[in-house]
A and B are shown apart, each in its own frame.
Chain A
Amino acid sequence: MSRAGTKLDSKKVNSELFTLTYGALVAQLLKDYENVEDVNKQLERMGYNMGIRLIEDFLARTGSGRCYDFRDTAEKIQTGFKIFLGITPTIANWSAAGDEFSLCFEANPLTEFVELPDHCLNLKYCNILIGVLRGACEMVQMEIACWFVQDQLKNDNVNELRVKFIKRLEDAIPAGED
């Protein structure tokens, strides 16, 4: 009763499940909120909640310790992308002060089947990534800001994610959860 030739690659399917689920979520949010800005905000908040949990996975799997400096952080974020999204962004465009860098990548599993319709031009489709990065870094006592400078969904050649170091968080302050 077995079906010949239907050996499914579970890794691949699993990634598609993630992509499509994320798409369904964004669609639902667009339905729920009139304002696209609110959708962006909500996506980031969800990403933040994911990030503060994801960092534990990351630390457990890589066994990495504290970052020496922000360059080290950049490399670890790159590793994170490799582990969780299977892509290897290149680190580029360091600012002179060394507190800002860009992650450039072409393949993006989040946007695999996505095209932005005209009325959603303000939608930051991948905003969840920003939340994830922010949440994860906050758990290792680092406050960062990040944003997309280039986005393939908006007809740029690559995706460019800019990351900026804000400050070190002191030990005693509990992270604000929502």
Chain B
Amino acid sequence: MRQQVIDTKMNSHTAGEADECLFEYLHTEMVNYTLSKASNKKEKEEELSRLEWMGFSVGYRIIERLTRDCSRFKDELDMIKFICTDFWSSLYHKQIDNLRTNHHGVYMLQDNSFRLLNKVGTNCNKQYLQESPRLLAFTCGLLRGSLANLGIISTVNAEISTLPSCKFHVQVQQM
């Protein structure tokens, strides 16, 4: 029985592919590291921008690898849709649950069970609600970076009302 557990794991990835929990642990350490550089609350918020920047550079690179075999996108909405489906499911194992837009450059992406939050708490548990936003800064950057490489300059911020669901607001800068 034990052997089987290992075997299925081994067959599923052949050479040099990292397990999913590694990213989660690394992400936690990055959050800890960036926050450890700040002493008070105000500084902490500023430090999160460094985390966002790291996310940006990862997003900028990863979108190139993801869209290698893609056909050209029709328009902005098409790109956002790609982000919601393929991009999100390959990084976070599920698609965005809800996408809203005002058709003037504002998009709202809602994930009802965000991967980096779903072990933190459920909606009846408010204990970690205050600390949770720091877990979203990296992903905000990731979104901004990937959109930037697709040619969309934007600002992205996130909001949590109940764990583990969260909303990302994308505001596209009009040229």
Considering only CB atoms, which chain A residue lies closest to B25 in the complex?
A50
Determine whether A98 belongs to the interface, using a CB cutoff of 8 Å to chain B: no
Q: Interface-forming stretch among B65-73, B99-107, B129-137, B164-172? A: B65-73
Q: Interface-forming stretch among A79-87, A115-123, A139-147, A166-174? A: A79-87
- Given A25-B26, A86-B17, A107-B15, also A10-B69 (CB < 8 A): no
Considering only CB atoms, which chain A residue lies closest to B93 in the complex?
A10
Per the bound structure, the CA–CA distance linking A23 and B4 in Å amounts to 34
Q: Is the interface of B mostly helix, strand, loop or mixed?
A: helix
Determine whether A8 belongs to the interface, using a CB cutoff of 8 Å to chain B: yes
The answer to whether A24 touches B58, judged by C-beta atoms less than 8 angstroms apart, is: yes
Determine whether B5 belongs to the interface, using a CB cutoff of 8 Å to chain A: yes
- Given A3-B71, A17-B62, also A86-B25 (CB < 8 A): no
Considering only CB atoms, which chain A residue lies closest to B6 in the complex?
A62
Residues of B within 8 A of A46 (CB): 26, 29-30, 32-33
Q: Which of B89-105 contact A (CB under 8 A)?
A: 89-91, 93
Q: Which of B1-55 contact A (CB under 8 A)?
A: 2, 5-6, 9-10, 12-23, 25-27, 29-30, 32-33, 37, 50, 53-55
Chain A CB within 10 Å, residue with most, of B15, B22, B58:
B22
The answer to whether B18 touches A85, judged by C-beta atoms less than 8 angstroms apart, is: yes
Determine whether B76 belongs to the interface, using a CB cutoff of 8 Å to chain A: no
Residues of B within 8 A of A14 (CB): 17-18, 20, 23, 90-91
Smallest beta-carbon distance B111→chain A, Å: 16
The answer to whether A84 touches B22, judged by C-beta atoms less than 8 angstroms apart, is: yes
| Contact partner, A83, options B6, B27, B69, Cβ 8 Å | B6
The answer to whether B57 touches A24, judged by C-beta atoms less than 8 angstroms apart, is: yes
Residues of B within 8 A of A23 (CB): 58
The answer to whether A54 touches B21, judged by C-beta atoms less than 8 angstroms apart, is: yes
The answer to whether B23 touches A86, judged by C-beta atoms less than 8 angstroms apart, is: no
Chain A CB within 10 Å, residue with most, of B9, B13, B53, B86:
B13
Determine whether A176 belongs to the interface, using a CB cutoff of 8 Å to chain B: no
Smallest beta-carbon distance B50→chain A, Å: 6
Determine whether A27 belongs to the interface, using a CB cutoff of 8 Å to chain B: yes
The answer to whether A13 touches B27, judged by C-beta atoms less than 8 angstroms apart, is: no
Determine whether B126 belongs to the interface, using a CB cutoff of 8 Å to chain A: no
| Contact partner, B16, options A8, A25, A109, Cβ 8 Å | A109
Query: What are 20 A-B contacts with C-beta separation under 8 Å?
Result: A3-B82, A11-B17, A13-B62, A13-B65, A15-B13, A18-B26, A21-B54, A21-B58, A27-B57, A32-B37, A42-B33, A46-B32, A46-B33, A49-B29, A50-B26, A50-B29, A83-B9, A83-B10, A87-B15, A113-B61
Mark A residues whose CB is within 8 Å of B.
1, 3-6, 8-25, 27-28, 32, 42, 46, 49-50, 53-54, 57, 61-64, 79, 82-87, 107-109, 112-113
Mark B residues whose CB is within 8 Å of A.
2, 5-6, 9-10, 12-23, 25-27, 29-30, 32-33, 37, 50, 53-55, 57-58, 61-62, 65-66, 69-71, 81-82, 86, 89-91, 93, 138
New contact pairs (7) apart from A20-B61, A21-B30, CB-CB < 8 Å = A8-B86, A15-B13, A54-B22, A84-B18, A87-B16, A107-B15, A112-B16
